[in-house]
Amino acid sequence: MSVDSATVRRIAHLSRIAIEDSEVERLRGELNAILAFVETLSEVDVEGVEPLTSALPMQMKKRADVVTDGGIADEILANAPLREDHYFVVPKVIE
């Protein structure tokens, strides 16, 4: 795949990047070099290689999925402008 000058200008426009006409050829060369490198990656044999999410094997830390009230209702409501019992009081929005 090769990028032409019109494509460079379109990419710059879509990216909201202002480029001068003198920069178009340099950017075209850089984009073509990037695309050429990506094409070489398709030649790598990855048959039998498991996908990775990290370079180091690790397990996600999990906690028990237990429903609680948090036990800190008073702290949560401390800065509320209006409250009633353990609830926020908000203006009525539906008649």
Residues 12-51 have pLDDT tens digits of: 999 999 999 999 999 999 999 999 999 999 899 989 988 8
CB-based contact 52:46 (threshold 8 Å): no
Query: What is the spatial distance between Cα 8 and Cα 28, in angstroms, rounded to a whole number?
Result: 6
CB-based contact 8:34 (threshold 8 Å): no
End-to-end CA distance of the chain: 60
Q: What is the pTM of this model?
A: 0.51
pLDDT over threshold 80, residue 84: yes
Q: How many CA atoms lie within 13 A of 61 on its CB side?
A: 0
pLDDT over threshold 90, residue 69: no
CB-based contact 1:36 (threshold 8 Å): no
